[in-house]
Structure 1
């Protein structure tokens, strides 16, 4: 039986359903590998394609798409030019494949490559399937001590690493994180690893704040209520909770416009505001204030050159990503997995789907 005959893929159409379909497996190129997918995590962007058929500026435009981009797998076959991997190697899959030739790629900022092909971002299919072909340069061998689930978790961890690096977080810094979802929690863990003295996490969900405290991803928490409508007043309350006059880095991980505005006000002069979440395309911000106080407002678009560090942090035990995994499903029950991920009552943090046969 061929790999295409054995393959099964989870396809989304933007109607809150998962269609499990047989899916053809392309021939591998000279620098590509055929992977047997082991584990795939569900991301917030996956849920948006599943529910609405779009995420930010990307849209399915009526074309069904294989979902999934947080994955690990086992090498089945290698292309003739692949030297660093062999069949049987266990790998974490960096889901974006850049052109490797443009100025962005050559300068190390390949995440900004205009020809980037990213798993489960239209028109590129994802890897929530049994078998998948990927560029070997973006497959990272993981140690025997690392589980397949940990390998899949390196993708969201990479977002946190890239965020904290661009924020310049270092020893003694005060950090405010808006949003206690998976990315916010991982940002807290990475910031602590980088030496942050104090982390304050802000969210509307008390259960998520409780989890942030239990995971030791934060030192302080603040629950936003209906009374916290004014961003400047919210920032003042956060100053009181943190007992400081502003943070070195404010990481907006929730995608809420109001949180982004508050992040501008909670930052100290010379601080950084990081746009990690994706809110409205056009948000009014006090940019003159940012200019006056030299507040750096920086975007975060995925990551670059983070997987080796992510592997080191997890394999060394510095960061335990498995704590974030709250639910597990099989590929055959992917529809249940997505419905659980979208249900606030499930209190899911990270849902992992096993794909291996």
Structure 2
């Protein structure tokens, strides 16, 4: 397996060489680095820990010794399903996993003036073309030819070393612990969530899914001075964790309320409207699920003092579950914004279209992050308005990466970090 030297960490699988000095500048050769041990996804639930060639340092790039790497939901989609977003892993071309990473600059390209050896940096995992219509319109997150770490055909960051353009390696304060630095990318996603859902001070927010992204979204909303933050999950352990997630600003819980949601029970009589529709032969399973969701959210609104407001201003669905989508539309007030963040294992879901039009809701999607999100995330950590350390529940050496992925799959941890240099 060989890295395409013209494209940093893009894969070219025609060579099994693991040498570190292919096309490297003299300053990299002089480092005499050990093998670039990496975690490669071979097929569903099968990974290999082995060296790959060191990516070539480009004149405008930096070579980073990766210190910490978080495991993300999309990593788990790849690990458990052999691919993500309809793009399966080719078993003959295993690729390095990971995209949440930070490390130390150990070499800089000849044209780089912004970085020096020893800098601590985060790794922005998406490399846009900067030329397509979306990039030119400032929406590089939906670049038509973006290369993203850990997706099929592009090596990710679960290696000892990673090369990338210097402008994609933002500086981070050396006071930020490596475990936390390995979680900067999901915080950047949280910042983008705030942008996409048009989050403003003194608004009410409902978040469905109390995994890492849901918790980080709550932390960002709290930093933005949301007036009330309500969380939902189907796992009691995550509900309990969310209730104990404390604000670094107040020392009190970030969530005002967290509710355990049971799966929707679709009966023939989930409400008067459903019953009436059923009598006329028009009720569908989706209609009955929608009525059950409305009933549940009516009870939540009464319990949280939101009944007179008709719901919350902003809804972030971070689970990918159809039940959560129905509940999210039900609790979103007239004229509110609903943001779909979570990704499920299927591509289509039932959705209450009449409620959407009657409430005149803005329904939006989100892909990763935009240009200012990493700087904002790093600044928020530096000022201490967001605390990610509480979310990190386990760490593993790179040599035990499979155990790390299995731990996330078991569902008992919130954020798992891999130490890339521990091989």
TM-score (norm. length: structure 1): 0.95
Q: In the aligned structure 2, how far is the partner of 1:186 from the partner of 1:5? A: 36
User: Does structure 1 retain, via aligned residues, the 8 Å contact 2:263–2:323?
Assistant: no
Classify the secondary structure of the residue corresponding to 1:75: strand
Aligned residue among 264, 267, 270 for 2:332: 267
- Kindly state the Cα deviation for residue 106 of structure 1 after the two structures are TM-superposed: 2.8
Classify the secondary structure of the residue corresponding to 1:277: coil
Q: In the aligned structure 1, how far is the partner of 2:165 from the partner of 2:90? A: 26
Q: Which residue of 1 aligns with 2:305?
A: 243
- Kindly state the Cα deviation for residue 270 of structure 1 after the two structures are TM-superposed: 1.1
Q: Which residue of 1 aligns with 2:357?
A: 291
Closer/same/farther in 2, CA of residues 296 and 330 from structure 1, 3 Å limit: same
User: Does structure 1 retain, via aligned residues, the 8 Å contact 2:104–2:121?
Assistant: yes
- Kindly state the Cα deviation for residue 227 of structure 1 after the two structures are TM-superposed: 5.4
Q: 1:164-223, CA deviations, whole angstroms, 9 ceiling, x for partnerless residues?
A: 121122222111100000000000110011111111101111111111111123110111
User: Does structure 2 retain, via aligned residues, the 8 Å contact 1:150–1:314?
Assistant: no
User: Does structure 2 retain, via aligned residues, the 8 Å contact 1:13–1:49?
Assistant: no
1:92 matched to 2:154: no
TM-score (norm. length: structure 2): 0.80
1:55 matched to 2:84: yes
Q: Which residue of 2 aligns with 1:343?
A: 410
1:106 matched to 2:136: yes
Q: In the aligned structure 1, how far is the partner of 2:210 from the partner of 2:265? A: 17
- Kindly state the Cα deviation for residue 75 of structure 1 after the two structures are TM-superposed: 1.0
- Kindly state the Cα deviation for residue 4 of structure 1 after the two structures are TM-superposed: 7.2
Q: In the aligned structure 2, how far is the partner of 1:169 from the partner of 1:239? A: 20
User: Does structure 1 retain, via aligned residues, the 8 Å contact 2:200–2:226?
Assistant: yes
Classify the secondary structure of the residue corresponding to 1:140: coil
1:332 matched to 2:399: yes
Q: In the aligned structure 1, how far is the partner of 2:85 from the partner of 2:300? A: 29
Q: Which residue of 2 aligns with 1:282?
A: 348
- Kindly state the Cα deviation for residue 130 of structure 1 after the two structures are TM-superposed: 0.5
Q: Which residue of 1 aligns with 2:275?
A: none
Query: Does 65-74 or 221-230 show the bigger shift?
Result: 221-230
1:39 matched to 2:68: yes
Q: In the aligned structure 2, how far is the partner of 1:83 from the partner of 1:51? A: 42
Q: 1:317-345, CA deviations, whole angstroms, 9 ceiling, x for partnerless residues?
A: 1111111000011111111111111113x
**More RCO (CA 8 Å, sep 6+):** 1
1:178 matched to 2:183: no
Q: In the aligned structure 1, how far is the partner of 2:377 from the partner of 2:162? A: 22
User: Does structure 2 retain, via aligned residues, the 8 Å contact 1:4–1:24?
Assistant: no
Aligned residue among 239, 242, 255 for 1:212: 242
Query: Does 166-175 or 302-311 show the bigger shift?
Result: 166-175
Q: 1:263-315, CA deviations, whole angstroms, 9 ceiling, x for partnerless residues?
A: 11211011011100013312232234323322100101101120111011111
Aligned residue among 275, 278, 293 for 1:231: 293
User: Does structure 2 retain, via aligned residues, the 8 Å contact 1:250–1:274?
Assistant: yes
Q: In the aligned structure 1, how far is the partner of 2:365 from the partner of 2:111? A: 36
- Kindly state the Cα deviation for residue 224 of structure 1 after the two structures are TM-superposed: 0.8
Which consecutive unaligned segments of at least 5 residues does structure 1 have? Answer: none
Q: In the aligned structure 1, how far is the partner of 2:82 from the partner of 2:263? A: 30
Q: Which residue of 2 aligns with 1:21?
A: 50
- Kindly state the Cα deviation for residue 10 of structure 1 after the two structures are TM-superposed: 0.5
User: Does structure 2 retain, via aligned residues, the 8 Å contact 1:5–1:22?
Assistant: no
User: Does structure 2 retain, via aligned residues, the 8 Å contact 1:13–1:50?
Assistant: no
Q: Which residue of 2 aligns with 1:322?
A: 389
User: Does structure 2 retain, via aligned residues, the 8 Å contact 1:39–1:352?
Assistant: yes
- Kindly state the Cα deviation for residue 228 of structure 1 after the two structures are TM-superposed: 5.4
- Kindly state the Cα deviation for residue 25 of structure 1 after the two structures are TM-superposed: 1.4
Q: In the aligned structure 1, how far is the partner of 2:107 from the partner of 2:389? A: 29
Q: In the aligned structure 1, how far is the partner of 2:87 from the partner of 2:315? A: 27
Q: 1:63-111, CA deviations, whole angstroms, 9 ceiling, x for partnerless residues?
A: 3111111000111112222221122111011110101122322332110
Q: In the aligned structure 1, how far is the partner of 2:299 from the partner of 2:122? A: 41
Q: In the aligned structure 2, how far is the partner of 1:199 from the partner of 1:225? A: 20
User: Does structure 2 retain, via aligned residues, the 8 Å contact 1:4–1:22?
Assistant: no
Q: In the aligned structure 2, how far is the partner of 1:148 from the partner of 1:29? A: 25
User: How many equivalent pairs are there?
Assistant: 355
Aligned residue among 217, 238, 258 for 1:221: 258
Q: Which residue of 1 aligns with 2:5?
A: none
- Kindly state the Cα deviation for residue 30 of structure 1 after the two structures are TM-superposed: 2.4
